[in-house]
């Protein structure tokens, strides 16, 4: 990963934007999360010469859980027991640069490639639940070979292209630097940004989806999920109130809605 860090540009303004996009803060697991993870079967896979930690719970049709930026797989622990009760098994992982996985740099594309590798290694997934940037990563994975019957998307940006544009704006990059930043992102992730637009991500998205977003989310605006739903006719949007961006992951009604949707009960 040192080679990736050395790949950051020297220009301080541009470098700050690249760091904001590519270098997450690693969040430690709480004591409760450590105890929870101990109930699963820990394994790892090697991707780009880095170890990616993942855990499997239960037996049955597999559901993949995908966390967001500066998060970790155990932040979606609340979904596991209800999914097991619904007869599913659960796989969750820590994306590169997050949790117990290797690395210091990451992106939505890195996360998506983990999902694709886990699907290939384990025979695919019946469904997935993804939060925040993990939702955007899931959309890219679904557009690039991942197949599921249903997916749930919580408080996610509508596309990586939108995130790149938003990062450039937040960092105050003028047009020339913004274009250089976009070029850097394409080199870093190995994908053309045109393949990460909302229209590209949803062009062949035809399975049933549930999009859940809180009206008071101050990290990702509700308009992002409205845009996703408008581009994805097979998905429906459920708006919650008063949960914000992160507390939604522990909300019993949100969890019940997601599990009921995946189990065919709603």
Among residues 118, 147, 127, which one has the least CA distance to residue 210?
A: 127
pLDDT at residue 79, as a whole number: 99
Q: Whole-model pTM?
A: 0.95
Q: Calculate the CA dihedral of residues 228, 230, 234, 238 and round it to 10 degrees.
A: 70
The residue that leads in pLDDT, 4 or 6, is 6
Give the pLDDT of residue 10: 86
Q: Tell me the three state secondary structure of residue 55.
A: strand
Binned at pLDDT 50, 70 and 90, residue 1 comes out as very low
Rounded (10°) angle between helices 12-22 and 175-189: 40
Question: Is residue 4 over pLDDT 70?
Answer: no
Closest CA to 264 of 168, 150, 184, 159: 150
CA distance 108 to 251: 25
**pLDDT tens digits, 143-195:** 999 999 999 999 999 999 999 999 999 999 999 999 999 999 999 999 999 99
For residue range 89-148, list pLDDT tens digits in order: 999 999 999 999 999 999 999 999 999 999 999 899 999 999 999 999 999 999 999 999
| 60 touches 87 (CB < 8 A) | yes
The CATH number of the structural domain formed by 2-262 is: 3.40.50.1820
Q: d(Cα 195, Cα 203) in Å, to the nearest integer?
A: 10
Residue-level pLDDT at 95: 98
Given this model, what pLDDT does residue 242 score?
96
Answer whether 240's CB lies under 8 Å from 251's CB.
yes
Q: Give dist(CA 9, CA 181) in Å, integer.
A: 9
pLDDT value of residue 265: 67
Residue of 115, 140, 117, 108 lying closest to 24 (CA atoms):
108
pLDDT at residue 122 in the model: 87
> Which pLDDT score is estimated for 6?
72
The tokens for 37 are 């993870």
Q: How far apart are CA 4 and CA 106, in angstroms?
A: 9
| Distance in angstroms (rounded) separating the CA atoms of residues 184 and 204 | 27
């Amino acid at each position: 990963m040192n080679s990736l860090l050395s790949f950051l540009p020297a220009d301080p303004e541009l470098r700050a934007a690249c760091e904001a996009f590519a270098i997450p803060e690693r969040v430690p697991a709480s004591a409760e999360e450590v105890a929870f993870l101990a109930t699963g079967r820990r394994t790892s896979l090697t991707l780009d010469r880095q170890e990616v930690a993942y855990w499997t719970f239960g037996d049955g049709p597999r559901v993949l859980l995908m966390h967001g930026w500066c998060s970790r797989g155990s932040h979606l622990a609340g979904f596991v027991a209800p999914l097991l009760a619904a007869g599913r098994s659960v796989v969750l992982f820590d994306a590169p640069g997050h949790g117990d996985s290797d690395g210091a740099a990451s992106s939505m594309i890195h996360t998506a490639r983990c999902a694709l590798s886990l699907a290939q290694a384990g025979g695919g997934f019946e469904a997935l639940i993804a939060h925040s940037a993990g939702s955007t990563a899931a959309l890219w994975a679904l557009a690039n070979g991942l197949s599921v019957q249903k997916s749930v998307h919580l408080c996610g940006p509508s596309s990586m292209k939108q995130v790149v544009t938003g990062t450039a704006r937040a960092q105050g990059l003028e047009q020339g630097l913004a274009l250089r930043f976009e070029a850097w992102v394409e080199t870093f992730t190995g994908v053309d940004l045109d393949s990460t637009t909302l229209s590209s991500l949803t062009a062949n998205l035809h399975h049933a989806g549930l999009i859940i977003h809180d009206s008071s989310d101050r990290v990702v605006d509700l308009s992002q999920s409205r845009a996703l739903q408008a581009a994805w006719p097979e998905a429906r949007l459920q708006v919650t109130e008063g949960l914000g961006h992160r507390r939604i992951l522990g909300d019993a009604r949100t969890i019940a809605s997601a599990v009921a949707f995946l189990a065919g009960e709603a």
